[in-house]
Structure 1
Amino acid sequence: MYIAHQVADAMAYLEVKRLHHLDLAGRNILVDNNLLCKISQFGHSVQKKV
């Protein structure tokens, strides 16, 4: 649940910044030894138009 919560928070943050991550998948989530998660692969992201 802790990892899922972090990913959901990160996606909400991207939404506020008006970005779409077009390839969100488990393979694009980096997890360290303390279970801190980071979303990667931003080559697959686009900015939403207003």
Structure 2
Amino acid sequence: MPDSAVIDVYCLAALRGRSVASTWRDAAKGLIPAPKKYGSSTRWNVGEVRRALALTV
């Protein structure tokens, strides 16, 4: 996926090996980037997530 792609909470949870609830909790705690709203959809930018996860490894 290119860094400019956006993914939903289900895809992000699967990629991280975490539950959907844990993904929302991690976003609220600032452990992963905050999602952005696109109309009625909530999505994460793939590039931002990759950079954030690279810092925690």
Query: Could you tell me the TM-score, scaled by structure 1's length?
Result: 0.34
- Answer 1 or 2: which has greater helix percent: 2
More strand by share: 1
The normalised TM-score by structure 2 is 0.32
| Bigger-Rg structure (1/2) | 1
